[in-house]
A = this chain, B = another copy of it.
Amino acid sequence: MLSEHGHEIPPRSGTAFELRKGQTLRVIDVRGEQVADLLAFSRSDIHEVISSGRTLDYASRIYLTTGDLLYSNRSTVMLEITADEVGRHDFLLTPCSKDTFRIIYGDTDPHRGCFGNLAAALEPYGVTEDMIPIAFNCFMNVPVDGETGELRVDPPRSKAGESVSFLAHQDLIIGLTACSALQSNNGSFKPIAYEISS
Protein backbone atom coordinates (compact mmCIF):
# COMPACT_ATOMS: atom_id res chain seq x y z
CA MET A 1 0.00 0.00 0.00
CA LEU A 2 1.39 3.42 -0.97
CA SER A 3 0.88 6.53 1.13
CA GLU A 4 2.21 10.06 0.78
CA HIS A 5 5.26 8.77 2.67
CA GLY A 6 5.86 5.76 0.41
CA HIS A 7 4.65 2.38 1.63
CA GLU A 8 2.08 2.12 4.37
CA ILE A 9 1.65 -0.74 6.85
CA PRO A 10 -1.99 -0.86 8.03
CA PRO A 11 -2.73 -0.99 11.79
CA ARG A 12 -1.89 -4.31 13.51
CA SER A 13 -0.14 -5.77 10.46
CA GLY A 14 3.37 -6.34 9.16
CA THR A 15 5.44 -6.74 6.02
CA ALA A 16 8.84 -7.91 4.81
CA PHE A 17 11.10 -6.68 2.00
CA GLU A 18 14.70 -6.59 0.80
CA LEU A 19 17.00 -3.71 1.70
CA ARG A 20 20.23 -3.54 -0.29
CA LYS A 21 23.61 -2.51 1.07
CA GLY A 22 23.86 1.29 0.85
CA GLN A 23 20.11 1.86 0.85
CA THR A 24 18.42 3.80 3.64
CA LEU A 25 15.16 2.75 5.27
CA ARG A 26 13.15 5.55 6.86
CA VAL A 27 10.42 4.42 9.28
CA ILE A 28 7.75 7.08 9.76
CA ASP A 29 5.22 7.32 12.58
CA VAL A 30 2.46 8.84 10.42
CA ARG A 31 0.00 9.77 13.18
CA GLY A 32 2.25 9.71 16.26
CA GLU A 33 2.57 7.43 19.31
CA GLN A 34 2.77 4.27 17.16
CA VAL A 35 5.47 1.59 17.54
CA ALA A 36 7.07 -0.32 14.62
CA ASP A 37 8.94 -3.57 15.36
CA LEU A 38 11.95 -3.97 13.06
CA LEU A 39 13.85 -7.20 12.32
CA ALA A 40 16.83 -7.69 10.02
CA PHE A 41 18.21 -10.92 8.55
CA SER A 42 21.24 -11.29 6.30
CA ARG A 43 20.16 -11.68 2.64
CA SER A 44 22.92 -14.26 2.09
CA ASP A 45 22.11 -16.37 5.18
CA ILE A 46 18.90 -15.87 7.11
CA HIS A 47 20.44 -17.53 10.18
CA GLU A 48 22.42 -14.33 10.65
CA VAL A 49 20.02 -12.02 12.45
CA ILE A 50 19.85 -8.74 14.35
CA SER A 51 21.02 -9.20 17.96
CA SER A 52 20.01 -7.07 20.89
CA GLY A 53 22.54 -8.77 23.18
CA ARG A 54 25.51 -8.08 20.89
CA THR A 55 24.42 -4.56 20.04
CA LEU A 56 23.81 -3.39 23.61
CA ASP A 57 27.14 -4.90 24.71
CA TYR A 58 29.08 -3.02 22.02
CA ALA A 59 27.13 0.23 22.52
CA SER A 60 27.29 0.05 26.35
CA ARG A 61 23.82 1.59 26.26
CA ILE A 62 20.24 0.27 26.10
CA TYR A 63 18.86 3.35 24.26
CA LEU A 64 20.20 3.73 20.74
CA THR A 65 20.02 6.72 18.39
CA THR A 66 21.83 8.48 15.52
CA GLY A 67 25.33 7.09 14.98
CA ASP A 68 24.68 3.77 16.70
CA LEU A 69 25.31 0.47 14.91
CA LEU A 70 22.97 -2.53 15.04
CA TYR A 71 24.94 -5.80 15.05
CA SER A 72 24.00 -9.35 14.08
CA ASN A 73 24.40 -12.48 16.20
CA ARG A 74 27.70 -12.94 14.31
CA SER A 75 28.91 -9.48 15.33
CA THR A 76 28.77 -7.91 11.88
CA VAL A 77 27.13 -4.51 11.39
CA MET A 78 23.68 -4.80 9.78
CA LEU A 79 22.27 -1.30 10.13
CA GLU A 80 23.38 2.15 11.23
CA ILE A 81 20.97 4.70 12.64
CA THR A 82 21.66 7.75 10.49
CA ALA A 83 18.82 10.06 11.56
CA ASP A 84 16.42 10.04 14.49
CA GLU A 85 13.75 12.65 15.21
CA VAL A 86 12.45 10.81 18.29
CA GLY A 87 15.44 9.52 20.25
CA ARG A 88 13.70 6.81 22.23
CA HIS A 89 13.35 3.24 21.02
CA ASP A 90 13.33 -0.15 22.73
CA PHE A 91 15.69 -3.05 22.14
CA LEU A 92 14.87 -5.20 25.21
CA LEU A 93 11.54 -6.84 24.43
CA THR A 94 10.38 -9.49 21.96
CA PRO A 95 7.53 -8.76 19.52
CA CYS A 96 4.06 -8.97 21.06
CA SER A 97 2.37 -12.31 20.40
CA LYS A 98 -0.67 -14.41 21.21
CA ASP A 99 1.16 -15.37 24.41
CA THR A 100 1.89 -11.75 25.30
CA PHE A 101 -1.78 -10.89 25.05
CA ARG A 102 -2.74 -14.03 26.98
CA ILE A 103 -0.18 -13.61 29.78
CA ILE A 104 -0.06 -9.80 30.16
CA TYR A 105 -3.54 -8.71 29.02
CA GLY A 106 -5.50 -11.88 29.89
CA ASP A 107 -7.05 -12.10 26.41
CA THR A 108 -8.92 -15.35 25.77
CA ASP A 109 -8.93 -15.03 21.96
CA PRO A 110 -5.69 -13.15 21.40
CA HIS A 111 -4.51 -11.40 18.21
CA ARG A 112 -1.37 -12.92 16.63
CA GLY A 113 0.49 -9.70 17.36
CA CYS A 114 3.72 -8.43 15.80
CA PHE A 115 5.20 -11.89 16.30
CA GLY A 116 2.52 -13.56 14.17
CA ASN A 117 2.62 -10.74 11.62
CA LEU A 118 6.40 -10.95 11.30
CA ALA A 119 6.35 -14.76 11.06
CA ALA A 120 3.78 -14.62 8.25
CA ALA A 121 5.59 -11.85 6.35
CA LEU A 122 9.01 -13.49 6.68
CA GLU A 123 7.91 -17.07 5.95
CA PRO A 124 8.50 -16.71 2.16
CA TYR A 125 12.16 -15.91 2.95
CA GLY A 126 12.57 -19.12 4.97
CA VAL A 127 12.30 -17.56 8.43
CA THR A 128 10.48 -19.71 11.00
CA GLU A 129 8.88 -18.57 14.28
CA ASP A 130 11.77 -19.85 16.41
CA MET A 131 14.18 -17.66 14.41
CA ILE A 132 12.45 -14.43 15.50
CA PRO A 133 14.59 -12.63 18.12
CA ILE A 134 14.19 -9.43 20.11
CA ALA A 135 13.18 -6.74 17.61
CA PHE A 136 14.44 -3.17 17.40
CA ASN A 137 11.19 -1.54 18.45
CA CYS A 138 11.12 1.88 16.77
CA PHE A 139 9.41 4.57 18.90
CA MET A 140 8.69 2.11 21.75
CA ASN A 141 9.23 3.89 25.06
CA VAL A 142 10.43 1.55 27.82
CA PRO A 143 11.90 3.44 30.77
CA VAL A 144 13.98 1.33 33.18
CA ASP A 145 14.45 2.12 36.87
CA GLY A 146 18.20 1.79 37.39
CA GLU A 147 17.79 0.89 41.08
CA THR A 148 15.05 -1.73 41.01
CA GLY A 149 15.36 -2.77 37.38
CA GLU A 150 11.62 -2.25 36.90
CA LEU A 151 10.52 -1.39 33.39
CA ARG A 152 7.36 0.27 32.11
CA VAL A 153 5.81 0.55 28.68
CA ASP A 154 5.01 4.26 28.32
CA PRO A 155 3.41 6.12 25.40
CA PRO A 156 5.88 6.69 22.54
CA ARG A 157 7.51 10.11 22.38
CA SER A 158 6.99 10.24 18.59
CA LYS A 159 4.74 12.93 17.09
CA ALA A 160 2.91 12.66 13.77
CA GLY A 161 5.35 12.56 10.85
CA GLU A 162 8.50 11.92 12.89
CA SER A 163 10.88 9.21 11.72
CA VAL A 164 14.04 7.18 12.30
CA SER A 165 16.40 6.18 9.46
CA PHE A 166 18.65 3.14 9.04
CA LEU A 167 21.52 2.70 6.54
CA ALA A 168 22.05 -0.92 5.45
CA HIS A 169 25.67 -2.10 5.81
CA GLN A 170 24.88 -5.36 3.99
CA ASP A 171 22.07 -6.86 1.86
CA LEU A 172 19.20 -7.56 4.24
CA ILE A 173 15.71 -8.96 4.59
CA ILE A 174 13.70 -6.57 6.76
CA GLY A 175 10.56 -7.38 8.76
CA LEU A 176 8.52 -4.36 9.88
CA THR A 177 5.18 -3.94 11.67
CA ALA A 178 2.64 -1.47 12.87
CA CYS A 179 2.59 -2.78 16.44
CA SER A 180 -0.48 -4.59 17.78
CA ALA A 181 -0.15 -4.05 21.56
CA LEU A 182 -2.46 -1.44 23.12
CA GLN A 183 -0.06 -0.44 25.88
CA SER A 184 2.86 0.16 23.48
CA ASN A 185 0.83 2.59 21.35
CA ASN A 186 -0.98 4.61 24.02
CA GLY A 187 -4.26 2.76 23.53
CA SER A 188 -4.93 2.91 19.78
CA PHE A 189 -3.69 1.16 16.64
CA LYS A 190 -2.32 3.31 13.83
CA PRO A 191 -0.44 2.70 10.55
CA ILE A 192 3.31 2.96 10.01
CA ALA A 193 4.89 4.21 6.79
CA TYR A 194 8.33 3.55 5.35
CA GLU A 195 10.49 4.79 2.50
CA ILE A 196 13.56 3.25 0.89
CA SER A 197 16.14 5.52 -0.75
CA SER A 198 19.49 4.78 -2.40
Residues of A participating in the B interface, judged by any CB pair closer than 8 Å: 47-49, 51-54, 56-58, 60-63, 73-75, 92-94, 97, 99-100, 103-104, 130, 132-134, 143-152
Residues from chain B with Cβ under 8 Å of A56 in the complex: 92-93, 151
A167 to chain B, nearest CB (A): 19
Contacts of A104 in B (CB 8 A): 57-58
CB closest residue in chain B, given A53: B94
- Whole-angstrom distance between the alpha carbons of A57 and B115 in the complex? 14
Can you list 15 A-B pairs, Cβ within 8 angstroms, ordered by A? Answer: A52-B52, A52-B134, A53-B92, A53-B93, A54-B94, A56-B92, A57-B104, A58-B103, A60-B150, A61-B151, A73-B94, A73-B130, A73-B132, A75-B97, A146-B147
Most buried by B among A54, A57, A134: A57
Task: List, in ascending order, chain B residues with CB within 8 A of A53's CB.
Answer: 52, 92-94, 133-134
Min Cβ gap A27→B in Å is 20
Residues of B within 8 A of A61 (CB): 148-151
A51 to B135: give the CA distance in the assembly, Å: 13
Residue of B nearest to A45 (CB): B130
Closest B residue to A130 using CB positions: B47
A152: which of B52, B60, B130 is its contact (CB, 8 Å)?
B60
Bound together, the chains give a CA A130 to CA B76 distance in angstroms of 13
Complex Cα–Cα for A103 and B53 (A)? 14
Bound Cα distance from A92 to B150, whole angstroms: 14
Please, which residues of chain B bring their CB within 8 A of the CB of A58?
Answer: 103-104
